Structure 1
Amino acid sequence: MSNIDIRRSHSRPLKEARAAIERVAEHIAEKFDVEYGWNGNTMEFSRGGVDGHIAVSPKDIHVTATLGFLLGAIKGPIEREIQRYLDEEFG
């Protein structure tokens, strides 16, 4: 198993940060074929070989994911793609 753990601070109101994470999740879902949904201020996502969440607080975003054996082999590209989408939304 391989893990992704990304933290990013932000200064947006919580509602705007959630909307930005929704856009990030749409990109990730399209690119990696994951399903996602909200549980409070945490977006949970999964598919075969990956489970994770994106927690949104008033001050930061915390992305965690556990990748199975096959996806663990491409952890770097997955992590870079998540970072890229976060950069687009949060600069």
Structure 2
Amino acid sequence: MPKEDIRAAAEDLADSLAREHGVRSYWDGDRVKIKGAGVDGVLSFHDDLIDVSVRLGLLTSMFEAPLRREIQRYLDEHIT
């Protein structure tokens, strides 16, 4: 998949997370950083690898499984 398409999918994912979970996102090179109450994450891509790293605070950690599923579902549907 071309890098531009991966970036567009990452932007869409960040927008979706902002709408549904109230997080903010901003780009730093080929990485989108995500921040919110109890959430701090980075989605980066290089070569053929997409890396999603999210740190959750104590109260938000109970949402780890649904958040993981949502991100995985989105990537499965939009990244080929």
TM-score in terms of structure 2 length: 0.92
Structure 2 alignment gaps of length 5 or more? none
Q: Distance in 1 between matches of 2:25 and 2:70?
A: 17
In structure 2, the partner of 1:9 is none
The one of the two structures with greater contact order (alpha-carbon pairs below 8 A, sep at least 6) is 1
**How much has 1:74 moved relative to structure 2?**
1.7
**How much has 1:58 moved relative to structure 2?**
2.8
In structure 1, the partner of 2:70 is 81
**How much has 1:22 moved relative to structure 2?**
0.7
In structure 2, the partner of 1:50 is 39
TM-score in terms of structure 1 length: 0.82
Which structure shows the bigger proportion of residues in helix conformation? 2
Q: Distance in 2 between matches of 1:44 and 1:15?
A: 17
Structure 1 alignment gaps of length 5 or more? 1-11
Q: Distance in 1 between matches of 2:47 and 2:13?
A: 17
In structure 2, the partner of 1:8 is none
Q: Tell me the C-alpha RMSD between the 2 structures.
A: 1.1
1:62 and 1:56, CA in 2 relative to 1: closer, same or farther beyond 3 A?
A: same
1:4-34 deviations in Å (ceiling 9; x for gaps): xxxxxxxx11111101111111111111110
